[in-house]
Amino acid sequence: MNKTLLEITQTKNTGLSEVLVNWKNYDQKTFILSLAELKKRNVPVNEQIESLISDFSRNEGKPYEEIEKEFFETNGAKDYAEYVSENTKVPEKTDDEKLYLEQLRRLRIAQIEQQEQKQAKNDVLYGGLWFAGGLIVTIVSLSNGNGGIIAYGAVIFGGIQFFRGLSKSL
């Protein structure tokens, strides 16, 4: 069994430890990357892990440090961090994907603009109605000569809403 770099970086510590315990079932690359990932996560190397590393080294016929160094040099990296950064590049989107995403973006912008225009028309309509209604109530109530209701709230609110909608629609 072999694991990819992505699988190793996404595996929990217990899964990586399982690779070390069963190192005979995995290739050299999986063992080296699993141990390097555990070290990166600051997992302490206890006596059991030291024993597994020694068994692996004896099987390979070289000290582990030498095996690890040769592996990274062969793969064009000086250490695990550089190896990971070189081998986990995100693939770029194809031209079709970029075109599709641009079309979606433009469609969403058009929907937002359409919604804003509809809201502006509603503001003009309802603002005008509030303004006119408040003005009519005020004029009618004051026309009898005995004072009356001054609907300044409706007039002010309606005027503000009307002009806000008018400015948005231009």
Q: pLDDT tens digit string along 25-71?
A: 999 999 999 999 999 999 888 899 899 999 999 999 999 999 999 99
Taking residues 77-89, report their average pLDDT.
84
Residue 143: is its pLDDT beyond 90?
no
Model-wide pTM > 0.75? no
How would residue 146 be classed by pLDDT, with cut points 50, 70 and 90? Answer: confident
- DSSP state string for the chain: ----HHHHHHS-HHHHHHHHHTGGGS-HHHHHHHHHHHHHTT----HHHHHHHHHHHHHHTS-HHHHHHHHHHHTT-SSHHHHHHHH-PPPPPPHHHHHHHHHHHHHHHHHHHHHHHHHHHHHHHHHHHHHHHHHHHHHHHHHTSS-----HHHHHHHHHHHHHHHHHH-
pLDDT at 91 over 80: no
> What is the rounded average pLDDT of the residues 107-136?
95
